[in-house]
Amino acid sequence: MIFKKPLKVEKDENNRVPPGQTVTNNFPVLTDGPAPDVEKSEWVFEIKYQNELLRSFNWEEFNNLKQETITTDIHCVTRWSKLDTVWNGVYVEDLLDGLIDPEKHKFVMAFCFGGYTTNLPLEDLMDKKGSVVTTFDGKDLEKDHGGPARLLVPHLYLWKSAKWVKGLHLGESDRPGYWEQYGYHMYGDPWKEQRFWND
Ligand SMILES: Nc1nc2c(c(=O)[nH]1)N[C@H]1C(S)=C(S)[C@@H](COP(=O)(O)O)O[C@H]1N2
Ligand SMILES: [Mo]
């Protein structure tokens, strides 16, 4: 009888890169329109339900929350992936702590300085799946990548990771955000290649 050595399970690049994607070491910038200027002194993060402001943080309040380091792969619908990116920020579930009413708060529209929006199910931001990050690679997040703060939702295509994020609008129903109105998929799972409406 032949005993085979068990296969060593490593984080193999092939298993980490979703179909149709190519790994890059660069960090491309993809913004529709100009990057807005957002001063930390005017920065706010707001959590809303309908016309009601449930909670808000200014820069100082946000930075007093528990900061986490997140190491993750990211995948852009324009077919590049970047492995082991390192960010610092706050988990969305900590921002929402004690606020959630599961009957009313099922979906989220992230909104941004500059007007961009993107939609996602609330549960895709919970359980450490979503965060609001303020550093990349140990340095303050560059303006072009969304500084001072962006959403990071690495298990979905990167258009869901709203740059210059200003808050989350909670709601009962899933409405299309900016790119979702123009043909991008409502959910955007890179492992299922949910790039466009009919994927
Ligand atoms: N506010 C805002 N966020 C945004 C965008 C944008 O145009 N405005 N572009 C999205 C798209 S389509 C992608 S692919 C990623 C790109 O992030 P990056 O420029 O840091 O690579 O940001 C997303 N977040
Ligand atoms: Mo994109």
Alpha helix positions (H), 56-102: 59-63, 92-95
Residues 183, 186: Cα–Cα separation, whole Å: 9
Is residue 111 within 6 Å of ligand 1 at its C-beta?
no
pTM score of the predicted model? 0.94
Q: For position 23, what pLDDT does the model report?
A: 97
Is residue 166 within 6 Å of ligand 1 at its C-beta?
no
Q: Is the pLDDT of residue 62 over 90?
A: yes
Q: For position 27, what pLDDT does the model report?
A: 97
Is residue 158 within 6 Å of ligand 1 at its C-beta?
yes
Element spanning 6, H or E: none
Sort 41 into a burial class: Cβ within 10 Å, 0-12 / 13-18 / 19+. exposed
User: CB of 168 within 8 A of CB of 92?
Assistant: yes
User: Out of 3-7, 80-84, 189-193, which region has the weakest mean confidence (pLDDT)?
Assistant: 3-7
Tell me the one-letter amino acid at 39.
Answer: E
Q: How many domains does the chain have?
A: 1
Q: Which of 30, 142, 150 to mutate to test the pocket of ligand 1 (most atoms within 8 A of CB)?
A: 30
Is there a domain that residue 170 lies in? yes
Structural domain harbouring 54: 2-192
Mean pLDDT of the region 161-186: 98
Is there a domain that residue 198 lies in? no
Mean pLDDT of the region 49-76: 98
Q: Is the pLDDT of residue 4 over 90?
A: no
Is there a domain that residue 199 lies in? no
- pLDDT confidence band for 9 (50 / 70 / 90): very low
Residue 169: CATH number of its domain: 3.90.420.10
Is there a domain that residue 102 lies in? yes
Alpha helix positions (H), the chain: 13-16, 59-63, 92-95, 178-181
Q: For position 12, what pLDDT does the model report?
A: 56
Is there a domain that residue 33 lies in? yes
Is there a domain that residue 10 lies in? yes
pLDDT tens by residue, 72-97? 999 999 999 999 999 999 999 999 99
Q: Which of 79, 133, 153, 163 to mutate to test the pocket of ligand 1 (most atoms within 8 A of CB)?
A: 163
- pLDDT confidence band for 169 (50 / 70 / 90): very high
